[in-house]
Amino acid sequence: MIKQIFLDSNLENLGFGDGLPERSFPPKLSFKSESGELIGYFANYDGLIKEVDLLDLFESNNLGSLINSNSDFLLFFWEKEKKRLRVALDQTASLPCYFSFVNGRFLLSTKFTEVVSELKKTNKLVIDMDGLLTWLLWEWHATERTLFEEVKIIPPGCVVDIDFESGEYKIESLVDLQGFLTNTGEKYTDVEIFAKDWETEMVRVVADRVKTLGGKKTTSDISSGFDCTLVSYALNNALGDSLICQSRVSNITPEDTDLDIMNKFAVLNNIRLEVVDTTSFDLHDKDLKSEWRKDEALQISATSYEHFVKMLESKKVKVQFTGEGGDEAYSSSEMDLPESFPVQNGFFINVMYLKKMAVEKLFTKEAVNFALSNQRFNNRAEYPMIAPISSLIPTATYFWSNWEKDIWMMNPFYDTRLIALARRMPESITGKKQDRKFAVLSKLPDIFPKEMFVEKFGREKAFVGFAKKQKKFALEILENSALAKLGVLDKGLITSWVEKEDDILNDPELAIVFQTMMQIDWFLQRNLE
């Protein structure tokens, strides 16, 4: 099991204990000079930044090019004479990094509860209501807020400057979103030409990433959807016979992966396919008291996933390609408005989710009012992102399952070269995301069999039935509800729904939030003691 990154220091000393843990990927690095020491993890995919350049970039405080490159990294630069630490994180936050600077003591870890546990020894933790509601509502935005006021997370594409002389820190975003938005090029007019270029760019992006892996065993998640299949097609181009793609199937959500369609795609593209039945790993039928993680509040759907990752570990897989971010790529042309009005955009997303999708039924009136209050949105620091905001979700949800098994999750759709190309999609391509995919990918019949062009449903059904199958456990959580004490949920009302097995908790949108509520409530009960 790979250990977390952990730093515990005060104004008198700084040290990483046993140092950073070794990993298969991204590789660990270390450079020293007269001015300081640079350590961390780094992998570049577009050839713009080389390892040997990194120390100079930190010494000259010229980190914009690093932040805006297609790279995965978490880097620490310690200037001993100045007693200053700078921490830089890539623009997709591929390595979550939590920190706290309280009473001259600085704590930092890739593990949320590592910081929490240390703080609890000397401090009473205070709930951050904005952070709490963000996590509960899956209302992701680039933020430094977490469940607790004393613990922050480094936002994507940011540098945190910690001055041990003054006992202060500042967070600065170096993501050049405006530059990106104004330099992506003209729209295509021909859909067929765009589709071919879309294929070519994906093949190039994936090949660039494969070059950095040094022959490490690699796989790809694959379902009967278009995003992971396009990635798998490109990966197969790069690796050939050495690649075996992993397709997860479950009786709980049979519509997510159609094996007949998968086999047609695999045969058409000469892809080796391994089917993994995850039905027996489904969390509905598990003893969640022992299976749900106590050490990560955001591992909300990781129970079955952890079993899957264990299987990958047994096969000595080190890199796992995914199709995460594919949905958002087909809507990247809509980035301009949210960027111009980030506060308003965040507000209306909440309104839609809480009101239109009726999620407010699970919350008290007071919690809904706070979630939609002007004060909540006006008090936020806004950190721009080029990759979709939703890129933060898989990192938060699955990171630790992968990290502990030394398996890196690789997401080609977050590459800014692909996002830039997606913004040039012909204006004639309209409709919802699935319609746009059909319009583009139907022009690639040599890759995608016609049987794939059917509506695919999400995995929401995986959450439906949780309240019924885990009734006893849910009632136990509700009995001592931390969220009820905070005024977030009405314990009596929701308890009655669970006891009566009310259909309201079988609504897919509400089922997702209810399960998240139970996970976070359970976590808080064990970490606010």
- For residue 394, whether the previous peptide bond is cis, meaning omega lies within 30 degrees of 0, is no
Taking the alpha carbons at both ends of the chain, their separation in whole angstroms is: 28
Amino acid symbol at 423: R
Token reading at 54: 């990194």
Q: Which pLDDT value is given to residue 282? A: 67
Closest CA to 440 of 216, 183, 230, 143: 230
Where are the chain's structural domains?
Answer: 6-174, 179-329+387-456, 458-529
State which residues of the chain have pLDDT below 50: 11-12, 17, 300
* CATH superfamily of the 6-174 domain: Aminohydrolase, N-terminal nucleophile (Ntn) domain (3.60.20.10)
CA distance 434 to 440: 10
pTM: 0.92
Q: Strand, coil or helix: what is 102? A: strand
Tell me the HSE value of 46 on the side-chain side, using a 13 A CA sphere.
17
According to the model, what pLDDT value does residue 11 have? 45
Radius of gyration for the alpha carbons in the chain, expressed in angstroms and rounded:
23
Q: For tokens 């391994």, name the residue.
A: 274
DSSP secondary structure letter of residue 27: P
d(CA 200, CA 208): 12
pLDDT recorded at residue 303? 65
Backbone angles phi, psi at 98, to 5 degrees: -100, 145
Which of 162, 132, 108, 169 has its CA nearest to residue 376? 132
* Cβ(65)–Cβ(57) below 8 Å: yes
Q: Encode pLDDT of 130-166 as tens digits.
A: 999 988 887 777 889 999 999 999 999 999 999 888 8
Q: Quick one: DSSP state of residue 443?
A: T
Burial readout 116-143 (b: 16 or more C-beta within 10 A, e: otherwise) = bebbbeeeebebbbbbbbbbbbbbbbbb
Phi/psi at 39 (5° precision): -135, 160
Distance from the Cα of residue 229 to its chain's centroid: 20
179-329+387-456 placed in CATH 3.30.43.10: no
User: What proportions of the chain, in percent to the nearest 5, are helix, strand and coil?
Assistant: 45, 15, 40
Which two tokens mark 360?
A: 């407010």
CB 348 within 8 A of CB 372: no
Three-state DSSP state, 2:
coil
Q: Is the dihedral of CA 506, 512, 515, 521 positive or negative?
A: negative
